Structure formats: C-alpha cells, structure tokens
Amino acid sequence: MGEQLNFTHRSNLLNSPMPDSRHFETDAIRIQAPGSAAREHSVPLYMTSGFTFDSAEHARALFANEVDGNVYSRYSNPNTDEFVAKICAMEGAESGLAAASGMAALFGCLAGLLNQGDHVLASRSLFGSSHQILSQILPRWGISYTYADTARPESWESLIRPETKMLFLETPSNPGLDLVDLAWAGELAKAHNLIFLVDNCFATPYLQQPIAFGADLIQHSATKFIDGQGRAIGGVIAGSEKYIEPIRFFMRHTGPSLSPFNAWLFSKSLETLPVRMERHCDNAEKLADFLGEHPKVSWVKYPFHKDHPQRELALKQMKRGGGVVCFEVSGGISGAVRFMDRITMLSRSANLGDTRTIVTHPATTTHSKLTEEERLAVGITPGLIRIAVGLEHHTDILNDVAQALG
Ligand SMILES: *Cc1c(COP(=O)(O)O)cnc(C)c1O
C-alpha cells in the first residue's frame, strides 16, 4: 500500500506531513486513503452516503468533533478526502475542500467568506460564469465588485476601497492567456489586508503554485486538466485553514459536495497529471510555433512563446506554458467561422483540458453573452480561436489545423 494519511472528517488532512524531499510526482501517486481489509492496491470507490458508529458513545463523540471519522458523505468521504489531500500536497496548501464543480468551488469561497457590504476587486479577465456570479448574483446580497485590467496593474491599488475584502484573479486567463504577476498581487493583497484568491484552473498545480507567491486560497475546476479526460464535473479549494474553515461550514450546510465517484476519478487522474501536463505543453508549444509562422494567422498567444508580451513573467511563475493556445485567424469573424467548419479531426466543443484537442470560437460561444466592447476589453477579438491542445500525436493536430487554415 501507499503511504496512508490519517484522514478525518475535519480539516487536518495533512496532519501527517510528507518528508520535504518527496517529489510532486510521488505525492500524486502515493498519497492514498487508508487500505481496507481486502488489501487492495488501488483505492476502491466508497460509494456510500453514510458511515456507521461503533457505539452510541462513538456516535456522540463524532458529532461532538471529539474524535475523527466519517459521518456522512456530504461532510466527508475517503475518496473526496484523498482527492483533497493530493491537491493540498500539490498546491502546498494547509487544508482544502472538494466541490461539485469549479463554480461551486468559487461560489463556496465567495459565499463562505464575504458579508453584506463587502467589495471584491477582481481581474476583468475571468471565466464567464465567474463574471455572472460577481455581476448578477452577489449584488443581490449587497456584495459589490470592481474589475481591474490585467494590462494596467498600476491602476489596481487605486481601485481598493475600505470595504474591499478580497482580491480574485485567474492567471493565465481564459481565453486571452493574459498573466498577472502573482508575487506582485500577493504583496498588494497583503498590504491592504485582502484575501487573495486565485483560480488556478489553466495552469494546474503542476505548472504553477500560487500559494508560494502569496495566495491565501486557490480554486480549481477539476473538470479540466485535473480530470484530463473530459468525463466528470468537479471542483476543489485549497489554502489556509483560517479561510477554509468558514467555507467548510458554508459548503457542509448548503451541500455542493463532490460525488465520491467523481472524487475517485479525479484522484486517479492526478496520478498522471505531471506526465499529461508535460505532453500537453509539448504539443501546445509545437502548435504555437507553427501558428506563429503561418501567413493566415495575425498573431498567436501562448505564455512561453517568444511573441507573448508577458513571456518573462510566465518564465518566472510557471513551470511551462500550459495546454491552451490562442490565435487570431485573418478574416475576422468569417475567417474564424470558416476555420471552425473546416476542422475535421479536432473536436468543436467548449470544454478544455481533455485528451482530445478542442477548438473553440469564444466570440460566438463561451463569451457570446458579453457585449462586443466587453469582449474586446479582455482580448476576445472576432477572429480569436482557442485551442485546448490534447494528447494526440502533434503531427496529426498540426495537420488538421493546417488544412483548416488552408
Ligand atoms: C471551466 C472553468 C471554470 C468552471 O468550472 P466548472 O467545473 O465548469 O464549474 C472556472 N474557471 C475556469 C478558468 C474554467 O476554465
């Protein structure tokens, strides 16, 4: 059996710290839920809603939080605990929580930590539903927000108000692949006593660990590279126990818990995250280089590509550039539509982080609900194509893109 953590129904998932010398790849595989009497090698699926008590006294002690143990899968389950423990080790986080989706994870962070009258300073380049939560849902409970432009970091400090409680951003952003300097943002948050929350979905903990740069909390859509195979929806939060505790209270009692089945899938997927991300990055680099030289492409954007304006920053805070490449096809919207329709092997879909390469036209799909002006403010031009590069042979990916650009 692999190394066993002392899982609990409370927060102290990582009370048995890993030796400092242990590597990311090893933790991804060797952090495992305790084995059962069957002596299985691979952790089984604990598809159970509840857990049993040894005695009336044991039940009382569990409910009184005097002893550790599972009670009910809305609170904890060996599969979700294992998934969270792996993410905490990978992100360098003290504690964490699983959630039913990436959006449930984000909403849990916001609703668990913010009160009426609070204000959020957020990067303008956010995932579509994150924008809807900030702009349509939280204002109903008296929580306001201001957007800051990634291109003008010098303006951010002046947007902080006495009631600002949180700084929230994505880097690299979706779909524009703009970066924010995490160390700088961490300093800004610290200077103004803000909770610093990062959506680390695009980079994954393998490529970027925001907590090391001063983030208090990170949140993921596990649906993307963490699952990596386009099978299941899920989310996860990790960070200081100080912030996880109120979020846990909110999540336990409002119920956006992750299914043990999805947690089991994600935890198995994390075993191969480092290997998969290396290949995603290899393929994405080759595609970015190819697009950068193509006459029908106005520009290409990829964090480690020589043309990315923030390449130096990418090198500073990311291990590699990630699995997503954006480019502007010449001919604007009609050029983009033609490209999308000519694709033969790659998938036309809105997801990302799959083994299968996915092409998306954000202006007519994922970001169609924004106004043209709002789209342009986050770099979504009419001809922008996002390619979430998969794990097929790079030659086949490039061939399909080449013939579609034709
Ligand atoms: C997909 C995504 C989300 C939302 O996650 P779901 O699992 O779909 O709820 C949030 N942030 C980013 C950057 C995403 O790509």
pTM of the full predicted structure?
Answer: 0.93
Task: Using the atom order of ligand 1, give the atom closest to the CA of residue 104.
Answer: 9
CA of 128 relative to ligand 1 center, distance in Å: 9
* Confidence band for 366, pLDDT divided at 50, 70 and 90: confident
Q: Name the residue at shortest CA distance from atom 4 of ligand 1.
A: 102
Closest CA to 9 of 57, 60, 52, 72: 72
No. of helices (H) and no. of strands (E), the chain? 14, 12
Residues 262 and 283 in one domain: no
pLDDT digits (tens, 9 = 90+) for 22-62: 899 999 999 999 999 999 999 999 999 999 999 999 999 99
CA of 103 relative to ligand 1 center, distance in Å: 6
Residue located via tokens 């943002």: 185
**Average pLDDT for 214-221:** 98
Name the average pLDDT for the chain. Answer: 94
The DSSP code sequence of 9-68 is: SSS-TTSSPPPTT--HHHHHHH-BPPP-TT--SSPPP---SB---SSHHHHHHHHTTSS-
**Average pLDDT for 373-400:** 94
Residues 185 and 291 in one domain: no
Name the DSSP letter for residue 383.
T
Among 171, 201, 208, 360, which residue has the most ligand 1 atoms within 8 Å of its CB, making it the best to mutate?
A: 201
Q: Is 11 a residue whose pLDDT tops 60?
A: no
Copy the structure tokens of residue 8: 């609990």
**Average pLDDT for 245-270:** 98
CA of 137 relative to ligand 1 center, distance in Å: 17
* 259 located within any domain: yes
Q: Report whether 351 contacts 201 (CB < 8 A).
A: no
Residue located via tokens 């951003």: 169
Range with the poorest average pLDDT among 1-10, 122-131, 157-166, 258-267: 1-10
**Average pLDDT for 237-241:** 98
Q: Which domain holds residue 350?
A: 273-405
Residue located via tokens 């993307």: 224
Query: In the Cβ-directed half-sphere of 85, how many Cα atoms lie within 13 Å?
Result: 32
pLDDT digits (tens, 9 = 90+) for 187-211: 999 999 999 999 999 999 999 999 9
Task: Give the pLDDT of residue 7.
Answer: 39
- For residue 76, give every residue at least 6 positions away whose Cβ sits within 8 Å of its Cβ, in sequence order, or none: 7, 8, 9, 70
Residues 154 and 217 in one domain: yes
Task: Using the atom order of ligand 1, give the atom closest to the CA of residue 106.
Answer: 10
Task: Give the pLDDT of residue 378.
Answer: 84
Q: Name the residue at shortest CA distance from atom 1 of ligand 1.
A: 221
Q: Which of 270, 300, 333 delimits the end of a domain? A: 270
* 1 located within any domain: no
Characterize 274-300 residue by residue with b for buried, 16 or more Cβ atoms within 10 angstroms of its Cβ, and e for exposed: bebbebbbebbbbbbebbbeeeebbeb
**Domain of residue 288, CATH code:** 3.90.1150.10
* Ligand 1, CB cutoff 6 Å, lining residues: 101-103, 127, 129-130, 170, 174, 199, 201-202, 221, 223-224, 233, 235
Angle at 223 between CA 50 and CA 358, to 5 degrees: 155
* 149 located within any domain: yes
Closest CA to 208 of 322, 350, 353, 375: 322
* 4 located within any domain: no
Residue located via tokens 């995490």: 182
Name the DSSP letter for residue 247.
H
Residues 63 and 161 in one domain: yes
Residues 77 and 62 in one domain: yes
Q: Is 15 a residue whose pLDDT tops 60?
A: no
Residues 35 and 83 in one domain: yes
* Confidence band for 363, pLDDT divided at 50, 70 and 90: very high
Residues 118 and 136 in one domain: yes
- For residue 154, give every residue at least 6 positions away whose Cβ sits within 8 Å of its Cβ, in sequence order, or none: none
> Could you give the dihedral angle defined by the CA atoms of residues 192, 197, 200 and 202, in that order, rounded to the nearest 10 degrees?
-80
Q: Report whether 301 contacts 172 (CB < 8 A).
A: no
**Domain of residue 240, CATH code:** 3.40.640.10
Q: Which of 252, 270, 288 delimits the end of a domain? A: 270
Name the DSSP letter for residue 351.
-
Percentage of the residues of the chain whose pLDDT score is greater than 90: 89
* Confidence band for 20, pLDDT divided at 50, 70 and 90: low
pLDDT digits (tens, 9 = 90+) for 264-274: 999 999 999 99
The total of structural domains in the chain comes to 2
- What Rg, from alpha-carbon coordinates, does the chain have? 22
Q: Which of 270, 285, 308 delimits the end of a domain? A: 270
Q: Report whether 354 contacts 235 (CB < 8 A).
A: no
* 248 located within any domain: yes
**Average pLDDT for 339-360:** 97
Gap between the Cα atoms of 266 and 268, Å rounded:
5
Q: Is 2 a residue whose pLDDT tops 60?
A: no
Residues 242 and 289 in one domain: no
* Confidence band for 19, pLDDT divided at 50, 70 and 90: low
C-alpha separations of 396 from 76, 275, 344 in Å: 43, 20, 11
Range with the poorest average pLDDT among 16-25, 134-143, 336-345: 16-25
Residues 220 and 308 in one domain: no
Residues 180 and 241 in one domain: yes
Q: Is 356 a residue whose pLDDT tops 60?
A: yes
* 252 located within any domain: yes
Task: Give the pLDDT of residue 13.
Answer: 42
* 335 located within any domain: yes
Residues 60 and 162 in one domain: yes
Task: Give the pLDDT of residue 16.
Answer: 44
The DSSP code sequence of 286-334 is: HHHHHHHT-TTEEEEE-TTSTT-TTHHHHHHH-SS--SEEEEEETTHHH
Residues 259 and 393 in one domain: no
C-alpha separations of 81 from 2, 10, 53, 184, 202 in Å: 15, 10, 19, 32, 23
* 3 located within any domain: no
